[in-house]
Chains A and B, each alone.
Chain A
């Protein structure tokens, strides 16, 4: 409405943000993409001496052929493909249940949001403590002084204890611990979003369903889920993005070795790999790995959007 004659004034307000963005966002995009295609280039080495590199896909091929990368990709994929559906389903059930009750609703809602406000390293250490076995675990006749609370609970119900995270533990036992922790950590955000979505659904649909004496499960699958589909799509997409960037939760449970004592790096993820390359001063490979991660996230997001466009009901 007001006709401003002073364009420069707007740019003055924008200046701090733009300068910082140019240095720490725009330049990195250009540089990282360029570095990914520069073979044998180290960002740090190039300051003093002359740079020696040539352009090519070398970084990409070397990253992809690397066994550690393949392991990291597999780990990341497994974590995503299991934790996202499990946490979404659990969050949906909890949100619907919360929405169906009156007394205690607020209190329970608060409890379910609690894991959000945590430090993933710190709570990872708590999970480690819960699954940890104290004693000589790896030997043939283990001498155990404490099985850890999780194993104690299993034994209480007559099950056999499992070596979850200690030396000699199985890959899937490690994965199981990570899945439990990641799902636990992912629930609050999903519940919050889905509960918000449920609050937005017009009560009349449910009253109409009641008049037609629709059974509960049918109300859930035929009314709630379709009407909630935009929110579900949202939590699934953000869940996948977060899943592909999983790193600190594993550091929390297993430490920076990213695996049990006898097999470090077994649980490394894509992000972990990028930082490993960076720490070993291999910027080119880190860049290539980061670009691959970006492409994967992009593709998964696009697939998700395509699917949800068909499935999202309005």
Chain B
């Protein structure tokens, strides 16, 4: 089931007495979510991602715009008639019901011709439980389950009525780090097995990138970029996206282009073809540095953090907009702190942005595929 969001907009009326300022939570969102894919809605808190999810679910009504499931316009359809499954951030399991009763709950609401007999319901509940591998926990109460198990129950409850669309609100945020890795693989597996179009919301870019087919990066209600995780990472549309994706985060410098040469501070870093002379903001991914005694970017090293496979060199640079410049270098050879460290920059790991607009300024690519 593909989902089409058409000019989707949500405006919240001003809160309380100070009537100033209605809040535009989602602004003119256009997107076609392809059938059977896993989509990550990504952004900092307050960016409108949850509001978008709730509008898809029908729990909130858009101020304007339309939502289609396939070819059906569901904009005016109430939640229960949309055929969605929703997993809440805190799972929202009914604490007084057992796992089995929780999973059965949605089925018991079916009326009329959709009504199921008891055995079918039990079969379906068992099937759902099996899918998320909790069939041995069916008689427990939610309070007797770990966070990860509760999460699975919530997913089973959402899946049991065979929804057209599965929605997950911050599905991993209540889990500890180890469980998070495991559960995100689970979500990926379940989504693949069922083939249900799934949308999930997260503020954690790593989480979104690791399992999504497509990610949607949002900020202040406006979609910044949509694409496959690797594409968005490698080719950010603006400074916000570049900064939001990647751990450790991208290094940002103030720079200047003059006669086809990029300067960071006084360092003439590299030639940039096809860029007019202007002040720019420069982003360099931590893995975009190459140790080179003859390198063009010169930093003052502060510390070396050993991470096993890699080392991370923390240094400073006068033109850096962050307190530190962080580079990740292969740990094959040891590195000792000296007075300065010189880098050459990998061309596909450096991005230029307009100083004011923060929009990406593209560097012309040479015929050999390099920038």
Contacts and interface: CB of A to CB of B under 8 A. Distances in A.
B306 interface: no
Interface in A257-278: none
What's the interface size class on A, roughly?
under 10
Interface string A1-28: 1110000000000000000000000000
6 contacts: A1-B54, A1-B59, A1-B60, A2-B59, A3-B60, A3-B61
A128 B61 CA distance: 69
Interface string A27-71: 000000000000000000000000000000000000000000000
A4 to B, nearest CB: 11
Contacts of A3: 60-61
What's the interface size class on B, roughly?
under 10
Interface in B42-57: 54
A133 B54 CA distance: 77
Contacts of A2: 59
Nearest to A3: B61
B307 to A, nearest CB: 42
Interface string B68-99: 00000000000000000000000000000000
Nearest to A5: B61
A2 B58 CA distance: 9
A86 to B, nearest CB: 45
Contacts of B61: 3
A51 B54 CA distance: 63
B156 to A, nearest CB: 24
A3 to B, nearest CB: 6
A239 to B, nearest CB: 38
Contacts of A1: 54, 59-60
Nearest to B61: A3
A1 B12 CA distance: 11
Contacts of B60: 1, 3
Nearest to A1: B59
User: Which 6 A-B residue pairs are closest in the complex by CB-CB distance?
Assistant: A3-B61, A2-B59, A1-B59, A3-B60, A1-B60, A1-B54
A3 B61 CA distance: 8
B356 to A, nearest CB: 38
A2 B59 CA distance: 6
A3 B60 CA distance: 7
Interface in B185-223: none
Interface in B247-266: none
B180 to A, nearest CB: 26
